[in-house]
Structure formats: structure tokens, C-alpha cells
Structure 1
Amino acid sequence: MAGETGTPGAVVAEAVGLGKVHGSGSAAVVALDGVSARFRRGEFTAVMGPSGSGKSTLLHCLAGLDTPSSGSARVGGVDLGSLDDDGLTALRRERIGFVFQSFNLLPTLTAAENILLPLSLGRKRPDRAWVDRVVEVMGLGDRLDHRPAELSGGQQQRVACARAVVTRPDIVVADEPTGNLDSRSGARVLALLAECSRQWGQAVLMVTHDPAAAAYADRVLFLADGRVVDEMPYPTADSVLDRMRRFDDEQVRG
């Protein structure tokens, strides 16, 4: 199924000289300092770095949830800064899938209704064959009539994953998606995110602090002080952990 969402390897999201400053004057805090990076179809990228390095800010700017102070964030070749509120809402709904630590499911809706919510909001008819495939891969066939309170944390996150991919977005962004899960449930969610990139050809961008989670990715971008300072292809949990320890050593020496 690779390539169902477009040409594998094509750039679908891009940060170009991305800067973000909170506050002004002596109280200014630089969250991003000229970050440039590309994210391609069929590629799973993890973003890691020390606390305050700008990981989540980068993800939020690329997902249109935050506005950069300088530079640009682009999805599908569209500069997010060029869109009005309605245009940005439509782009987020149609071209970006979201998976967050807190699941963000609507408690009054069933799992099926939560999965189909982006299509309902966009007034689009579901492709039943595609929806059925997503539900099957996510292992939710016997949970579709359940509301979030009737589901385990892992099941809720799988519903969130299904909702994120049901529109066949250009990119799926995941911010600490396993942070509220036990190790077994977390591993299943990570495997599903890998499936999104490798089987369905989507770009996946995940912020995580966990080296074991980063090992599911095709590459890791390391941020420090708002800049990209390293990139690691074919990560393993041990190689990522070693790199993170170097950050600690550098901070001590600094």
C-alpha cells in the first residue's frame, strides 16, 4: 500500500529558517533559532533533545498550531503563514493528522464517531473500504460502539491514530504519543505509526523523550537550544541513549 497517499520520498512538510521567540526585550525566550528540516512521504522522523530544546514548538509550528516569529512552515507546498483562520483550519483537517499524549477524544462520541470526526467536519463521505482497513490495522473492530470511558488508554490512543490517518493526510504529527501508556500499549501505538509511514506512505513526525520510542523511527533529529544539532539515521535505543547522554555532558561542561 506504499504510495497510496502520494509519491514516496516526496517532501510534504518543511521548516525553512523557522524561528520562534516568546516574550520581548530582556524577557525574550528563543524557542526556535533558524530551524530548517524536510519531512518526506514514507519517512518516520523522531525529534528529541533536552527539555526546552524546542521539540514541541517545532511540531506545533509545522502543524499550524503555533505561529513562527520568523521563517516559514510549509505543508504540501503551502506556507501556513499565508492562510487565514478558515484556510488553516481546512488544511489542518485535510492534510495533517494529530496524535497527542492526552488522546483528545470527544467523550460523548463512540470510537467510530471519533475516528470519522475529521471527515464529518469536512462534510466528506467516508471511503468505507479505507475506513475498514484502518480499523482492522488498528485492531478496533470490536470497539467501535464503545465510548472513550469504556476503552483502555491504549485503545483510546489507537482510536486517535485511526482518526489521524482516516483523511489520508500528508503528514501525521505525534507529540509524546506513548507518554500516558504502559510499555506494551505504547509499543503497539509506535508500531502503528511505523505502519502509517512504511505501508501507507505517510510522513510521520513524532516528538518523544524515550530512546526506545525513537528506535521505531527511520531517523532522529536532535534539537538543542532551538537548533538542529545532529541527525541520526537508522536509530537504535542504545545509539539514541548515547547521544542524549552527550547532551547531558555538554550541558555540564557548558
Structure 2
Amino acid sequence: MGLSKVYGAGDTRVVALDEVSVSFARGEFTAIMGPSGSGKSTLMHCAAGLDSASGGSVHIGDTELTGLADKALTRLRRDKIGFIFQSFNLLPTLTALENITLPMDIAGRKPDKAWLDTVVDTVGLRDRLGHKPTELSGGQQQRVACARALASRPEIIFADEPTGNLDSRAGAEVLAFLRRSVREMGQTVVMVTHDPVAASYADRVLFLADGRVVDEMREPTSDAVLERMKQFDAAGRRS
């Protein structure tokens, strides 16, 4: 709440987040959009504990991230947060299944087999689990990354442009999977995207400009999102 992020000082001072207060409901898919420099990626990074805020507080469930020691913050990110990045971030020497279970392996925890089976079947990669990333298409690699984020049953998943490196068909498959994970598994997903089509898969869209949330759209369509984005000028302000 009241989240602020400031870079630099004096003439070089940049306010990336300007007292942003927002919540992400359990079992909801939220897309964050805005012009370049609007603060959308900064908001996600601070909310996910990947970057520290200059002011305000961040809560994941009942845990406040502000002031956590590095080791405790690392443990919280590992146990309560799932991440999906544009670049997949898979280890090339591991199979798809080994990549999916890697965070739990590092934590010394055994995966819940029934849940893991559900996740694997939901992403549709049952017959590709023994393959390494170089033997998978881009869409399949990103679905492995999605399954990895879900496998430990995190409280929330943050996705940073998850379809940015995919063609439209593979991107649609990944977005459909994320939506299914919310609808059928009760997962909470927060996605940063610049794509109105991707945003249309979400339950709501938050629009940022100049480091502030300036609008919200429920049950978005790609046309409605595109029309709203046209209201922003090149400087990142509402016209």
C-alpha cells in the first residue's frame, strides 16, 4: 500500500512509482498495462520482492516483505511466489520435468504428485517431460516455465511479458493455460504486458501512467483495451 519507488536524486531524480495502492485478489487474473516508463514493470518487481520499494509496504498473504532479511526474502520468493519470464529461464541441461520441479528440489521438498500430475496434464506436456529445452518449441518451453511456477502451489504468480518471445498461436496457448490455472486451480496471476490481446485473457486490467494507477477495466476485450491505450500519448500521460 502507498508504494513508492524513486531512482536517483536532484536533477536525475525519477519517480517510477508514486504512492500506488493496489491489491490482487486470490483466484483472479490481473493484467498491468501502460506506456513505456509508466512503472508497470517496477510495480511487479516491487510486489514480487525482486526490487525494494522506497516507501510504502508490500504484503504476500499475511507476510510483509518490507524489512525482510535477504535470506527470509529469498525463502518467501521460493515458497510463496511463482515467476514466469519472457526469456523462459529454463536450465538447458535439465529435462522438462526436472525444470518443473527444480524450485522444490532446491528447497528440499518433494512435490505433491497428484498436484504435479494435474499441472502437467493442464499444460499438455505429458509426452515431452523427458525432453530438454533445446528439444522443445518456444511455446512448449514457456509452458514448462508456467508449470514450474505452478508446481509448488504458490500464493501468487507474477508473469513478465510471458508471450513476448512467442508467435501468436503459442502465445494464445500459454495465455489460455494461465486463465485455466485461475479458473480451475484457483491460482492468482499478475501479468505485465503491452499486448491488448494478452490483456483480454485477464479478469481485469490495471492501467498505469507516470507511476500511478489511473484506470481499471473489468472483463476486458482486446478492442476495449486497445482503445484505452490510445488515450495515452507518447510521453506516458493520459491525453
Range class of TM-score, shorter chain: over 0.9
For 1:18, the aligned partner's letter is L
Do the aligned partners of residues 98 and 176 (structure 1) sit closer, same or farther apart at CA in structure 2, a change above 3 Å counting?
A: same
Q: Which residue of 2 aligns with 1:183?
A: 168
Deviations 1:50-93 (A, max 9, x none): 00000000000011100000101110121111311111111111
Cα separation, 2, equivalents of 1:252 and 1:121: 44
Deviations 1:146-171 (A, max 9, x none): 11111110000000000000011110
> Which one of the candidate residues 184, 190, 213 is aligned to 1:199?
184
> Which one of the candidate residues 58, 68, 88 is aligned to 1:83?
68
Q: Which residue of 2 aligns with 1:222?
A: 207
Mean alpha-carbon deviation: is it higher for 48-57 or for 121-130? 121-130
Partner secondary structure for residue 37 of structure 1:
coil
Do the aligned partners of residues 107 and 250 (structure 1) sit closer, same or farther apart at CA in structure 2, a change above 3 Å counting?
A: closer
Do the aligned partners of residues 67 and 253 (structure 1) sit closer, same or farther apart at CA in structure 2, a change above 3 Å counting?
A: closer
- Tell me by how many angstroms 1:41 deviates: 1.1
Is the aligned partner of 1:245 residue 2:230? Answer: yes
> Which one of the candidate residues 102, 121, 125 is aligned to 1:140?
125
Q: Which residue of 2 aligns with 1:119?
A: 104
> Which one of the candidate residues 18, 33, 56 is aligned to 1:71?
56
> Which one of the candidate residues 157, 181, 187 is aligned to 1:172?
157
Mean alpha-carbon deviation: is it higher for 235-244 or for 125-134? 125-134
May I ask how many residue pairs the two structures share in their alignment?
A: 239
Partner secondary structure for residue 20 of structure 2:
strand
Cα separation, 2, equivalents of 1:253 and 1:217: 22
Cα separation, 2, equivalents of 1:26 and 1:120: 47
- Following TM superposition, the consecutive aligned residue runs of length 4 or more in structure 1 with deviations greater than 2 angstroms are 248-254
Partner secondary structure for residue 132 of structure 1:
helix
- Tell me by how many angstroms 1:195 deviates: 1.2
Cα separation, 2, equivalents of 1:252 and 1:71: 23
Cα separation, 1, equivalents of 2:225 and 2:233: 13
Q: Which residue of 2 aligns with 1:149?
A: 134
Gaps of 5+ in 1: 1-15
For 1:92, the aligned partner's letter is R
Is the aligned partner of 1:95 residue 2:80? Answer: yes
- Tell me by how many angstroms 1:251 deviates: 5.8
Do the aligned partners of residues 160 and 182 (structure 1) sit closer, same or farther apart at CA in structure 2, a change above 3 Å counting?
A: same
Do the aligned partners of residues 34 and 188 (structure 1) sit closer, same or farther apart at CA in structure 2, a change above 3 Å counting?
A: same
> Quick check: 1:41–1:203 contact (8 Å CA) kept in 2?
yes
Cα separation, 1, equivalents of 2:162 and 2:77: 18
Looking at secondary structure, tell me which structure has more strand per residue.
1
> Quick check: 1:41–1:197 contact (8 Å CA) kept in 2?
no
Gaps of 5+ in 2: none
Cα separation, 1, equivalents of 2:201 and 2:145: 19
Partner secondary structure for residue 181 of structure 2:
helix
Q: Which residue of 2 aligns with 1:41?
A: 26
For 2:17, the aligned partner's letter is L
Cα separation, 1, equivalents of 2:197 and 2:19: 28
Cα separation, 1, equivalents of 2:209 and 2:53: 18
Q: Percent identity?
A: 66
Q: TM-score, length-normalised on structure 2?
A: 0.97
Q: TM-score, length-normalised on structure 1?
A: 0.91
- Tell me by how many angstroms 1:197 deviates: 1.2
> Quick check: 2:209–2:236 contact (8 Å CA) kept in 1?
no
